[in-house]
A and B are shown apart, each in its own frame.
Chain A
């Protein structure tokens, strides 16, 4: 029998979904999602599902709480989420719908009509991971669960009437002891790698970097959906290139000139060192404002692409953001050289609204 709630639940899902779809652009361009990323879930606030009422502005209301703390001690963030209080009725909080990244990727795919990627047919290496998930009666002392053991002992004392409230000493026996146990799970080993490269020269401003950040998030989401496990490497460059961690990648602001070939050289080196193209699906993304230092270096870039990178990678994507300083010449040079090369995708991203189209251009090839 179909449960009665299922109809209402589906109805709700439909509303949410179509809202997400309708507003997907908005979320992408706002980049709100990234800020609220949990481990595997993204919280999407669904603004209009909250049926509007006449109600007090929460910031003026305040309330009553209970607990320690001096006057002035902060008890909650002010961003919409108010602390709970007496008289609080259901529905006074902003609803956040948790969407798993997989679901999000599916919606993105539906929306952008993205084809699934046909991966290079390589064997999957499987790795094993242990997770502590249970309690057992036997085990090594180093894994003894103190609280459970204590509880067991306390229980026994009370049942056998040996518990003395005035002298509450609990002596655990052998049988009281409880131990943590673990389960082993198999995880498919990553066989895809994304190498992100970004121009951080003086002409790349905060807005440009924001665009890169949002776009990378969606690319990441999609590729992670396609490959269950994936590695990512980050390269920043101005006149020289270096590898950094994800955080630095998005935050660094350098100055100075732009020599793009330095990044391509480094990417090539990374591939040669760790990612055998026969075993790995390699994705290269490069974001820049297209203001390279001289034609000689552009020629060098073309040579690197032709001879090395394009042969090794599944896909090379170049996204050019618009900046007030850059000439934006680089994309034209690439276009000229690699007109319709099947492994290269070029995309111009003048503003945040263009991210949506750009993702489609990058990932629409199904490679």
Chain B
């Protein structure tokens, strides 16, 4: 559907400004939707054509309820695709539409140029529709319940992927069998023919050969050869699944990978879009009568209520901080080594590198790198960042620290692997019984145990043999096992 004339004119104007500022984006298609359509599309994660599943309905229920109770409202939605798709809510007023359009163009620029998005499928709109067709076909053939139940199971493990996989060489889970015979390694001393049976007794040679063969055999039984992080891929290639199940699992995996960069760059992406909508709106697009409504909305976007960290706020403030530091030359050896506060405060080398620097940052960084490189103690203090912890005695989350290092460490931990535990496949033939052995790389925080049990149960449905998870519970190395019927927890050393 085309935009009405007045919006279309506004869109062209904003697009022009965005281009002049150096933003570079795919063709962007805007669609104007009613509020319930917006809720619908948002429930499907932005893709109107997704496979049927109740969790989208669940999302819809929440969105439409909170919309009708006035708790929240979706202003913008934009899809990483070529062309980009963006949705506007019809009932929004013109100022809001302008803001959203500017915001969207910056997102599109980010999608197109940020390194971490470079491996995503830019035809995802079509791909999702294909997925939906396939899942529907399976539902017709094998029954809705059956397929839905399997999707439920798969969703339980959808986060067991390797966010770096798109940037690595593709590996096969099972390397092909080598045809060449292993060389029999046995120690044979040089000797004259007639002395050979004495120098190299046949029994000893035979024993040595046997030992070697056994060693080779036991080595090759270890599978996979090294820990495997992309558990979904491993299951797709190694679990005894029906063909349709294999396909459903690959669909879930593909969609999970598609959404990875959005999780990896939430702070940057929103910060970047906020930076640019603010710049474009205040310097180009707004007229006098609109400034109040704009300011009202904009401040709402940046609100940090109830101690929450707002990615829009954090992102835009960091980008602005970087721009200022690089404009004034507040970086490098000289700056680091200066310990005179008055000099530092009025530091200005008029480098004017700020704009260039933030464009570079938006190209190369993700959230973890962004925070790691640019969070400064000064910023931390100005933005009143704090770390919080759970206090057992009061059953409350309490502010635990305002120290820069503690805050940074906690923030980085929260962002690494999206704040999720890292789990790998260690052995797919555990105890030589084809049981799956997973290992949780424990980083000081235990797993939520009840959910771990349920997830293990779901995994066992895919693997069809008992599954184990090695983890640490209350400082005790523990093996969680599920054998298809009951859960067991064993201490191991």
Q: Give A residues with C-beta under 8 Å from B.
A: 3-5, 7-13, 15, 49, 51-79, 82-90, 95, 97-98, 151, 154-155, 158-159, 161
Q: Give B residues with C-beta under 8 Å from A.
A: 36, 39-40, 43-44, 48, 52-62, 65, 148, 152, 155-160, 263, 266-267, 288-289, 291-292, 304, 306-311, 313-314, 367, 383-392, 394-402, 407, 410-411, 414-415, 418-421, 423, 440, 445-452, 454-455, 458, 469
Looking at the assembled complex, report how far the CB atom of A47 sits from the nearest CB atom of chain B, in whole angstroms: 9
Q: Do the beta carbons of A5 and B44 come within 8 Å of each other?
A: yes
* A8, A57, A85, A158: the one within 8 Å of B414 (CB): A85
* B40, B152, B396, B451: the one within 8 Å of A55 (CB): B451
25 A-B contacts (beta carbon < 8 Å)? A5-B39, A5-B56, A8-B53, A11-B54, A52-B450, A54-B423, A56-B447, A57-B445, A62-B387, A64-B407, A66-B384, A66-B385, A68-B384, A71-B402, A72-B399, A74-B391, A74-B396, A75-B307, A75-B399, A83-B308, A83-B397, A86-B266, A86-B314, A86-B414, A87-B418
* A13, A49, A65, A154: the one within 8 Å of B388 (CB): A65
Q: Which residues of A contact B311 (CB under 8 A)?
A: 86
Q: Do the beta carbons of B60 and A5 come within 8 Å of each other?
A: yes
A241 vs B166: C-alpha distance when bound (angstroms): 75
Looking at the assembled complex, report how far the CB atom of A22 sits from the nearest CB atom of chain B, in whole angstroms: 16
Known: A13-B61, A54-B451, A86-B314. A66 touches B383 (CB 8 A): yes
* A-B contact sample (16 more), CB < 8 A, given A61-B445, A67-B308: A53-B158, A57-B448, A62-B389, A62-B390, A64-B387, A64-B414, A65-B387, A65-B388, A68-B384, A71-B400, A76-B396, A78-B395, A83-B306, A87-B414, A89-B263, A97-B61
Q: Do the beta carbons of A56 and B445 come within 8 Å of each other?
A: yes
Known: A12-B55, A154-B292. A57 touches B446 (CB 8 A): yes
Q: Do the beta carbons of A76 and B307 come within 8 Å of each other?
A: yes
Q: Which residues of B contact A84 (CB under 8 A)?
A: 308-309
Q: Select from chain B the residue with minimum beta-carbon distance to A5.
A: B40
Q: Do the beta carbons of A4 and B40 come within 8 Å of each other?
A: yes
A75 vs B386: C-alpha distance when bound (angstroms): 11
Q: Which residues of A contact B59 (CB under 8 A)?
A: 90
Q: Do the beta carbons of B307 and A65 come within 8 Å of each other?
A: yes
Looking at the assembled complex, report how far the CB atom of B354 sits from the nearest CB atom of chain A, in whole angstroms: 24
Q: Do the beta carbons of A53 and B455 come within 8 Å of each other?
A: yes
Q: Do the beta carbons of A54 and B410 come within 8 Å of each other?
A: no
Q: Select from chain A the residue with minimum beta-carbon distance to B458.
A: A52
Known: A4-B40, A83-B397. A54 touches B389 (CB 8 A): no
Q: Which residues of B contact A58 (CB under 8 A)?
A: 390, 448
Q: Which residues of A contact B397 (CB under 8 A)?
A: 62, 74-78, 82-83
Known: A72-B398, A86-B267. A56 touches B292 (CB 8 A): no
Q: Do the beta carbons of B288 and A158 come within 8 Å of each other?
A: yes
A243 vs B163: C-alpha distance when bound (angstroms): 65
Looking at the assembled complex, report how far the CB atom of A355 sits from the nearest CB atom of chain B, in whole angstroms: 27
Known: A15-B54, A64-B407. A70 touches B399 (CB 8 A): yes
Q: Which residues of A contact B313 (CB under 8 A)?
A: 66
A204 vs B327: C-alpha distance when bound (angstroms): 75
Q: Do the beta carbons of B304 and A66 come within 8 Å of each other?
A: yes
Known: A5-B43, A65-B388. A95 touches B410 (CB 8 A): no
Known: A52-B458, A60-B446, A63-B414. A12 touches B54 (CB 8 A): yes
Q: Which residues of A contact B399 (CB under 8 A)?
A: 65, 69-73, 75
Q: Which residues of A contact B53 (CB under 8 A)?
A: 8, 11
Q: Do the beta carbons of B445 and A158 come within 8 Å of each other?
A: no
Q: Which residues of B contact A87 (CB under 8 A)?
A: 263, 266-267, 367, 414-415, 418-419
Q: Select from chain A the residue with minimum beta-carbon distance to B371.
A: A86
Q: Which residues of A contact B39 (CB under 8 A)?
A: 5
Q: Do the beta carbons of B388 and A83 come within 8 Å of each other?
A: yes
Q: Select from chain A the residue with minimum beta-carbon distance to B419.
A: A87
Q: Do the beta carbons of B421 and A10 come within 8 Å of each other?
A: no
Top 8 A-B pairs, shortest CB-CB distance: A8-B57, A12-B57, A52-B454, A9-B57, A62-B389, A74-B396, A65-B307, A78-B395
Q: Do the beta carbons of B289 and A62 come within 8 Å of each other?
A: no
Q: Which residues of A contact B54 (CB under 8 A)?
A: 8, 11-12, 15
A10 vs B414: C-alpha distance when bound (angstroms): 35
A12 vs B54: C-alpha distance when bound (angstroms): 5
Q: Select from chain B the residue with minimum beta-carbon distance to A90.
A: B59
Q: Select from chain B the residue with minimum beta-carbon distance to A71.
A: B399
Q: Select from chain A the residue with minimum beta-carbon distance to B43.
A: A5
A191 vs B58: C-alpha distance when bound (angstroms): 39
A57 vs B389: C-alpha distance when bound (angstroms): 12
* A10, A15, A54, A83: the one within 8 Å of B447 (CB): A54
Q: Which residues of A contact B410 (CB under 8 A)?
A: 62-64
Most buried by A among B56, B314, B423, B440: B56
Known: A52-B454, A64-B386. A74 touches B418 (CB 8 A): no
Known: A87-B415, A155-B292, A158-B292. A62 touches B400 (CB 8 A): yes
A98 vs B397: C-alpha distance when bound (angstroms): 25
Q: Select from chain B the residue with minimum beta-carbon distance to A56.
A: B445
Q: Select from chain A the residue with minimum beta-carbon distance to B317.
A: A66
Known: A5-B57, A87-B266. A63 touches B388 (CB 8 A): yes
Q: Which residues of B contact A76 (CB under 8 A)?
A: 306-307, 396-397
* A53, A73, A155: the one within 8 Å of B159 (CB): A53
A62 vs B406: C-alpha distance when bound (angstroms): 12
Q: Select from chain A the residue with minimum beta-carbon distance to B449.
A: A57
* B58, B266, B292, B388: the one within 8 Å of A64 (CB): B388
A365 vs B449: C-alpha distance when bound (angstroms): 47
Most buried by A among B36, B65, B388, B401: B388
Q: Do the beta carbons of A52 and B156 come within 8 Å of each other?
A: yes
Looking at the assembled complex, report how far the CB atom of A46 sits from the nearest CB atom of chain B, in whole angstroms: 9
Q: Select from chain B the residue with minimum beta-carbon distance to A68.
A: B384
Q: Which residues of B contact A7 (CB under 8 A)?
A: 52, 57
Q: Which residues of A contact B440 (CB under 8 A)?
A: 54
A86 vs B317: C-alpha distance when bound (angstroms): 14
Q: Which residues of B contact A4 (CB under 8 A)?
A: 40, 48, 52
A224 vs B385: C-alpha distance when bound (angstroms): 48
Q: Which residues of B contact A5 (CB under 8 A)?
A: 39-40, 43-44, 56-57, 60
Q: Which residues of A contact B309 (CB under 8 A)?
A: 63-66, 84-86
Known: A61-B445, A67-B307, A86-B414. A8 touches B419 (CB 8 A): no
Q: Which residues of B contact A52 (CB under 8 A)?
A: 156, 450-452, 454-455, 458
Looking at the assembled complex, report how far the CB atom of B227 sits from the nearest CB atom of chain A, in whole angstroms: 15
Q: Which residues of A contact B400 (CB under 8 A)?
A: 62, 71
Q: Do the beta carbons of A75 and B57 come within 8 Å of each other?
A: no
Looking at the assembled complex, report how far the CB atom of B139 sits from the nearest CB atom of chain A, in whole angstroms: 11
